[in-house]
Structure 1
Amino acid sequence: MAPMVLKTSFKGLFFMTSCTLITLKVTFFFISSIHSTSKLVIHDHDGHHFDLKPAVDDDRSAEIYNRHISTQRQYEDVVRILHEEQPSTSTHVDGLRPGDGRDSDGSSPEVTGNPPWQGGGGQLPNLVKTTTTVVHDGGQPSARSSTPPKGKVLTDNEVYHDKDIFKENYNQMNKSLKIYIYPHEKTDPFANVLLPDTRGSPGGNYASESYFKISLSRSHFITQNPSEADLFFLPFSIASMRHDKRIGTGGIKNFIKDYISTISHKYPFWNRTGGADHFYVACHSIGRTAMDKAPEVRINAIQVVCSSSYFLQGYNAHKDASIPQIWPRPGAPPTRHPSKREMLAFYAGAMNSRVRESLVRTWINDTEIGVHQNRLKTPYSDSLLGSKFCIHAKGFEVNTARVGDAIYYGCVPVILADHYDLPFTDILDWSRFSVIVSTEDIQFLKRILKGIVDTDEYMKLQKNVLKVQKHFQWNKKPVDFDTFYMVMYELWLRRSSIRIHLLNE
C-alpha cells in the first residue's frame, strides 16, 4: 500500500509543478503583451488626431510593431559600432540633470531601457542605417541621433505628419473654437499683469508670451458668452510679474495661488472641471515652478510653455503644449542659396550647461564647425546665413530662441537638447527640416552632418526649412498658419471632447 501512496504523491507533485510552470508562462506572455501594446497605444495617442484620423487595423498594427522590433536591432548595432570606433576618451555628456546644466551630481538624464522612439511625436519611427549614423522618422528628440530616412523621399508637402488631416482640422478649428478670457478692467491694480500690452511691438526672448495675448484679444476666437466656450484663458503674464516690483520673482507663486482662488470663488467655470478646460501661456523658464502653490493648475490646466521638457515633472506632453521661443524680427526672412553657405555648422552662446561645454570642448579647433563660447564680434546674422546647419544646444533649459533664429535665416536646425518637446510636434515632422542629435553623440556630430551634406538630403532639409518659416513667425495682425494660429490649433487638439454645461443653463 505504501508504494501506491508514494507513486500517487509523485504524480500529484508533478501535476502541480506543471500547472505552476504553465501559469508562469501565461502570466509572462500576458505581461509582455501589455508592455508591447502600451507602446503602440501611447504613440497612437501622441498624434492627437482624435477627430479625423482613421483607426489602424490589427494586421497593420502587427506589421508596424514587427518592423520596429527589427529596426531597433539595426539601430543598436550601428550606435554600438560608432561608439566602438572612438578612442576611450569619449566626450559623452554625463552628470547632467535636465533643466539645470550646473548640477554635477553624476546622474544622467537619459532614461535607460526605453526604445529610442519612446517620446512621442505622433509617428512611429522608421529606422535606417547610413554610413555615419542612425536616423529615424519622428518629430521628437530621442535617446539617439536622427535625420530623415532615405527610404522615405522628402517632398515639399511632407513637413507635416499628415497634411490633409491638418488642413481639415485647421478649418474646423477656425470655424468652431471659442475661448473665454477672464475679464479685467484697465483700472485693475494689476492690469499690467492681466491685460495685453498694446502700446508697442513686443521684443526680446520672451516676446511669444506677449504676442499671444495681443493676438488672442483681437481674434475671432474670443467669446463673451462663457457657456459656449471650449476653453478659458488665464491671462496672467509670468514675464510681467517678474518686472513688477510689487510681485517680483519671489512673489509669482503666491500671486497665481491668490488669482486661482479669486476666480474660483467669483466664477463657476473653474470649479466645474477643476481647471481642465483652462490654459495659460508662459515663455520664461520660471513659469515651470510658478505653479508650485497652485498644483491644480499644473496638474489639470493646459500649460502652453516654451520650456517644454517632457522629462521634467510638471509637464505632460499629452495635456500641455510647446510654444516656440521667437525673437521677433521685422520684415521678410533673408535668403541665401545653400551653395553660398560655406560653414558646415555654427554655434555661439554662454557656457551654462555641460552640453554646451562638451560641444565647445569637442569642436573648438575645428575648421568646419564654428563654435564660440562668448558673444561674437561679427553680426550674429552673418554666421546664421553663412552656415548650412545652426546648432541649438541645451542651456539651463531645453529651449532657446536659437531654433527660431535658425529657421528665420534658412539654416537647418541641429537640436542638441534631449527630452525637448519640440513646438508644434503634433503637426510638424521635425525630421523633415531639422537634425536631432543625442547629447551622447556630440563626438559624432561632424560625421553626422557631413553624411547628410554628401547626399541630397541636406538640400531637401533646407528647402523644407523655408516651408515652415511661416509657422515660426509672429505678426502684428495674425496671418493664417503663423505662430498664433499654430498655437490655437494645439489648443484645439487639447480641448475637452465633452461640453460641461452649467446647471442653470
Structure 2
Amino acid sequence: MNRTLKIFIYPHRKDDPFANILLPVDSEPSGNYASESYFKKVLSSSHFVTADPSAADLFFLSFSIARLRHDPRVGIDGIQDFVRDYIFNVSRKYPYWNRSGGADHFYVACHSIGRSAMEKVARVKLNAIQIVCSSSYYISSYVAHKDASLPQIWPREGDPPNLARERSKLAFFAGSINSPVREKLLQVWKNDSEISVHFGHLSTSYSEELLTSKFCLHVKGFEVNTARIGDALYNGCVPVIIANHYDLPFQDIINWNSFSIVIATLDIPLLKKILQGTSFDEFSILRDNVLKARVHFQWHLSPVDYDAFYMVMYELWLRRSSTRVLA
C-alpha cells in the first residue's frame, strides 16, 4: 500500500472563491472536527498523491462539510446544493467520475451534518467511498463495507498524561442527555457508587475522571461519534462502547475486542456485572492493548507509521481493488 497506492486530488486554485472549503487549511487543524482537516492537509503533501490521473487508484473529492456548514454563503441549508453542483462540475470537466459512476472516488467528513449532505447526489451516497465519523448502519447514507469510519480525534497539546495513577472508579461517563440510550444509563446507574454517570457540569476535570477510572463509557447520543473513544485511549482507560449497529473506526484492520468491551444497549442493566466479571488478568491485557492501540488514534502533520492517517489510507487501499477502473 505504502509503495503503490496513488490518489488524484481534483485541482483547485488558491484564488477560487471557495478555496477555504476545497483546499487544506493553512493553520494547524483544531476543534471537534480536526480529523477531517488533518487528513486533507497530510494527504495533500504526501507521496500518495499523483498528478497523473491515469495512474490513480482513487480520486479525492476535497470539499469540507464542516467548513461548508460555517460558511455564510452556504450554511446548513445550502450544503446539499453545493455538493450537487460540485459533482456536476467535476463530471463535466473531467472524465473520471463518469467512467465509474463515482465508485473510485471518496470524500472525508467528520461533522454529523455530512449524513444528509449527499441527498441531492445519490450517486455519491451509493457509489463513492464515504470516510465519515457518523458511521451507524441505521443511517441510510452509510453503506457498511463500502464506506469506512473515521475517528473523531481532538488535537492534543503537550505531553501525554501520567498514566501511573490508581484507578479507583469502576466506570465513568459524562455527557448530555440526548438519546434514549443515555436516558436509560442515567435511570439505572445515576446513584451507583462504582459507576460514575454525570450529566451536566463536572465538579472535577474531565481528564481527571478518565485517569482515575478503569473503564470509560462511550454511549450513543444524538449521534454516534468517536470523540470519547479517543479521550479514553489517550488517558489509558479501557473503552466500553454502548451503541448498536455501529461501525467502529478501522474495524477492518484492528481487533477491537483486544482493547475494548462492546455492550448492547439492552444490556445496560447488566453493565456492572459485565465489568466486574472482567478478571484482573483480563483487564491487564485490555489495558496493555489500549496503550498499544493509541498510536492508531493520533494525527501528525508529518505522518508516522500506523497513525490515524496511515490507518485511513489502508482503509482506502482495502476498497480500491473493487473500484479500480482501467483507462
Which TM class, normalised by the smaller chain length? Answer: over 0.9
Report if aligned partners of 1:398, 1:418 keep a CA contact under 8 Å in 2. Answer: no
Please show how residues 65-104 of structure 1 align to structure 2 within 5 Å. none
Report if aligned partners of 2:58, 2:324 keep a CA contact under 8 Å in 1. Answer: no
Q: Which residue of 1 aligns with 2:281?
A: 456
* Larger relative helix fraction: 1
Report if aligned partners of 2:134, 2:224 keep a CA contact under 8 Å in 1. Answer: yes
In structure 2, distance between residues paired with 1:365 and 1:402: 22
From 68, 80, 92, give the equivalent of 1:265: 92
CA RMSD of aligned residues (A): 1.1
Report if aligned partners of 2:169, 2:213 keep a CA contact under 8 Å in 1. Answer: yes
Task: Output the amino acid matched with 1:328.
Answer: P
Task: Output the amino acid matched with 1:227.
Answer: S
Please show how residues 55-66 of structure 1 align to structure 2 within 5 Å. none
Task: Output the amino acid matched with 1:175.
Answer: R
**TM norm structure 2:** 0.98
Q: Could you say what secondary structure the match of 1:456 adopts?
A: helix
Q: Which residue of 1 aligns with 2:176?
A: 350
Task: Output the amino acid matched with 1:318.
Answer: H
1:430 aligned onto 2:251: no
Report if aligned partners of 2:104, 2:323 keep a CA contact under 8 Å in 1. Answer: no
Q: Which residue of 1 aligns with 2:299?
A: 474
In structure 2, distance between residues paired with 1:375 and 1:177: 47
Q: Could you say what secondary structure the match of 2:249 adopts?
A: coil
Q: Which residue of 1 aligns with 2:11?
A: 183
Q: Which residue of 2 aligns with 1:300?
A: 127
Q: Which residue of 1 aligns with 2:56?
A: 229
Q: Which residue of 1 aligns with 2:240?
A: 414
Q: Which residue of 2 aligns with 1:398?
A: 224
In structure 1, distance between residues paired with 2:238 and 2:206: 16
Q: Which residue of 2 aligns with 1:483?
A: 308
Cα deviations by residue, 1:184-243 (Å, 9 ceiling, x for unpaired): 0000000000001022x2122111000100010011100000000000000000000011
Q: Which residue of 1 aligns with 2:268?
A: 442
In structure 2, distance between residues paired with 1:398 and 1:499: 31
TM-aligned CA deviation for residue 500 of structure 1: 2.6
In structure 1, distance between residues paired with 2:33 and 2:282: 33
TM-aligned CA deviation for residue 334 of structure 1: 1.9
In structure 2, distance between residues paired with 1:418 and 1:226: 40
TM-aligned CA deviation for residue 497 of structure 1: 4.4
Report if aligned partners of 1:277, 1:496 keep a CA contact under 8 Å in 2. Answer: no
Please show how residues 145-224 of structure 1 align to structure 2 within 5 Å. 173-199=1-27, 201-224=28-51
In structure 2, distance between residues paired with 1:245 and 1:309: 29
Q: Could you say what secondary structure the match of 1:174 adopts?
A: coil
In structure 1, distance between residues paired with 2:111 and 2:216: 23
In structure 1, list runs of 5 or more residues that go unmatched: 1-172
TM-aligned CA deviation for residue 499 of structure 1: 4.1
Q: Could you say what secondary structure the match of 1:445 adopts?
A: helix
In structure 2, list runs of 5 or more residues that go unmatched: none
Question: Aligned residue pairs: how many?
Answer: 327
Task: Output the amino acid matched with 1:278.
Answer: H
Q: Which residue of 2 aligns with 1:361?
A: 187
Q: Could you say what secondary structure the match of 2:217 adopts?
A: strand
Task: Output the amino acid matched with 1:291.
Answer: M
Report if aligned partners of 1:349, 1:375 keep a CA contact under 8 Å in 2. Answer: no
